[in-house]
Amino acid sequence: MPSVYIKTYGCQMNERDSEAVAAQLVAKGYTLAPSEAVADVILLNTCSVRDFAEQKALNKMVNVIAETRRTRPNVVLGFMGCMAQSRGQELVDRLPDVDLVLGTQKFHHAADYLDELLAGRREKIVDVAAEQGSEATIREHLLYGNAAGNGDGRRPPLQVTAFVSIMQGCNQYCTFCIVPYTRGEERSRSIPDIVAECRQLVSQGVKEITLLGQIVTSYGKRGFGRAELLLGQDAQQRVPTTVVGRAGSPLPADGGASVPASRLVSSLAPPNDTVAHGVTRPSLQESPFVQLLDAVHEIEGLERIRFTSPHPKGYGDDLIEAYARLSKLVEHAHLPVQSGSDRVLKLMHRGYTRARYVSIIEKLRRARPGIGISTDIIVGFPGETEDDFEQTLSLAREVEFDQAYIFKYSQRRDTPAAEMANQVPQKIREERNQRLLEVINEIAKRRFGAFVGRQMQILVEGPSKKNPARMTGRTRCNKIVVFDGSERHRGQLMDVKITRAGSFTLYGDPAILE
Ligand code: 5AD
């Protein structure tokens, strides 16, 4: 059977999509090639969020073509994901060696399309159409790597943590952002469908699940009837959950809805219902996202729940209250702020003010002292003045982020901001990027330094990428901790004493408990 190499650019959604495609292919008998040099199929899963990301994938394909076409003319080359979606046929017109262009609602057709291309039944395939129900098709996992396994059922999976896609698309239409055009309208999977997938992962040894969506706080708000969301009839019948197991064969799902029917009924009850699944609750109407968190929290054996990314607009008191109530929900929130200036936030169409953002952070820190806060910030948005930028600097100092991903504004085609007057010169974008980076790094250094000497719980994920002789784990507040350990620690929750802080990394010693 052919081998495939997938290279992924961009966000965790892309990582997850690549994993699902790889798992589908492995289930069909493909192997995963260790590098593109020996692969029969090379797929680039692309990102469009900034021009730089697109250029990187395009340049990569040019290089791949130069290297493969001369010596291995039959290798199948494909683009998939966001740039495939937004550029479509244009990619093949520009690079005629490309055989496959697979859009963001078409990942589950990868195996069939590759079969046709490899068998020579079709010469080129470009499929970027919308497809109803595609949000429920990102479900296969590759917990055992390249389908290897000793068959005795006792080998622990390579993955202790897993991403679960809960929705697709975005309806926020931030003026800078291309995502609504590459990922389509918001569409959510049903709660039972998601819970069944999580349950399956946990039964395979996964300890931590990250719920993924472009804006997870909008989960279940549109494109789905409320009853369908909670009962999940159609989505469940359509495609069974599979985890690609030891011999590369799909394991059967462990059964459908795992949320008790009584709970579903109570979830559909009017807002002032105070008793749900046996626990007295505040009379707060729960958003579908919080209902999902409640349902996932009930999975026995699951240790930690994360999610990314929420939107400040959707960060209601019900979600803050969930932090106080749900012990598996870790002390970490990645809450993109984008700017500290109300004027710019409005131009960006973000739907909140700086004061509202700060008040969410305050509430979160009250609900969970020690919570790690990370964010995304754009510098050089069109019309951003020195004064606006200084407000972003002051917000960074006020909130004291643990980590911030800073992006120089990049004009994206068909987005309103690309057409705005007063585009900020590249030189100023770079200069602001540098100034903000200095502030963020200085704060992070102080915050990371404060962990030295403390004992923290980590979940051990596997060998460190930089130094495979050491192991890494993650604290609940999302700090990476490197320590001297071995494979037997993988998947364990253990206490370590922090001995040193590096740049965005902590170093620890397994703690000897008295
Ligand atoms: N230019 C720069 N950064 C962008 N992002 C999204 N669109 C753009 C753009 N046009 C950033 C935002 C978002 C992160 C994933 O990428 O900060 O939160």
Predicted pLDDT of residue 285? 82
| Mean per-residue pLDDT, 458-463 | 96
Q: Which contacts (CB < 8 Å, 24+ apart) does range 151-160 have?
A: 151/246, 151/247, 153/246, 155/246, 156/205, 156/490, 156/491, 157/204, 157/205, 157/206, 158/462, 159/206, 160/205, 160/206, 160/207, 160/208, 160/459, 160/460, 160/461, 160/462, 160/490, 160/491
Percentage of residues of the chain with pLDDT beyond 90: 82
pLDDT value at position 223? 59
pLDDT exceeds cutoff 80 at 233:
no
> Looking at residue 158, what is its pLDDT?
79
Q: What is the mean pLDDT of residues 227-235?
A: 60
Q: Are 25 and 89 in contact (CB under 8 A)?
A: no
For the chain, what is the mean pLDDT? 89
CB 78 within 8 A of CB 99: yes
Mutating to test ligand 1, I would choose from 313, 337, 345, 378 the residue with most ligand atoms within 8 A of its C-beta, which is 378
Q: How far is the CA of 416 from the centre of ligand 1 (A)?
A: 14
**Atom of ligand 1 lying closest to residue 408 CA:** 2
Look at ligand 1, atom 7, and give the residue with the nearest C-alpha.
177
Cα of 474 to ligand 1 centre, how many Å? 26
pLDDT category at 212 given cuts 50, 70, 90 is: very high
Nearest CA-CA partner of 48 in 75, 84, 77, 13: 84
State in Å: Cα 178 to ligand 1 middle: 9
Q: How far is the CA of 378 from the centre of ligand 1 (A)?
A: 6
Q: Which amino acid makes up residue 230?
A: L
Mutation test of ligand 1: which of 11, 13, 15, 49 has the most ligand atoms closer than 8 Å to its C-beta?
49
pLDDT-based confidence at 107, cuts 50/70/90? very high
CA of 112 to the centre of ligand 1 (A): 33
- Give 467-500 pLDDT, tens digit per residue: 989 999 999 999 999 999 999 999 999 999 999 9
Please give the Cα distance from 286 to 268 (Å, whole number): 10
How high is the pLDDT of residue 460?
97
User: What's the gap in Å between 411 CA and the centre of ligand 1?
Assistant: 10
Whether the pLDDT of residue 333 is over 60: the answer is: yes
DSSP codes, 275-335: EETTEE--S-PPPHHHHHHHHHHT-TT--EEEEE---GGG--HHHHHHHHH-TTB-SEEE-
User: Ligand 1: distance of its center to the CA of 168 in Å?
Assistant: 17
Q: Is the pLDDT of residue 147 over 60?
A: no
Q: Is the pLDDT of residue 501 over 90?
A: yes
105 alpha carbon, distance to own chain's centre: 16
The pLDDT assigned to 284 comes to: 64
> What pLDDT is stored for residue 60 in this prediction?
98
Report the atom number in ligand 1 closest to the C-alpha of 309. 18
> Cα dist. 511→38, 456, 477, 484, 496 in Å?
44, 9, 18, 12, 5
- pLDDT attached to residue 239: 42
| Residue 250 predicted with pLDDT over 50 | no
**pLDDT-above-70 percentage for the chain:** 85
pLDDT in tens, 278-311: 444 544 689 999 999 999 999 999 999 999 999 9
Ligand 1 probe mutation, 376, 419, 426, most atoms within 8 A of CB: 376
Residue 277's pLDDT band (cuts 50, 70, 90): very low
List pocket residues of ligand 1, CB cut-off 6 Å.
49-50, 176-177, 336, 338, 376, 378, 407, 409-410, 412
Mutation test residue for ligand 1: of 13, 15, 48, 50, the one with most atoms within 8 Å of CB? 50
Taking a C-beta distance cutoff of 8 angstroms, is the pair 185, 234 a contact?
A: no
Residue 129 — pLDDT band, cuts 50, 70, 90? very high
The answer, yes or no, to whether residue 371 has pLDDT greater than 70, is yes
Residue 176 alpha carbon to ligand 1 centre in Å: 7
Residue 268 has pLDDT above 60, yes or no: no
Closest by CA position to 329, among listed 366, 299, 362, 304: 304
**What average pLDDT score do residues 336-342 get?**
98
Instruction: Give the model confidence (pLDDT) of 65-79 as tens digits.
Output: 999 999 999 999 999
User: Tell me, what DSSP letter sits at residue 416?
Assistant: G
pLDDT in tens, 149-197: 444 445 666 789 999 999 999 999 999 999 999 999 999 999 999 999 9
The per-residue pLDDT for 432 is: 98
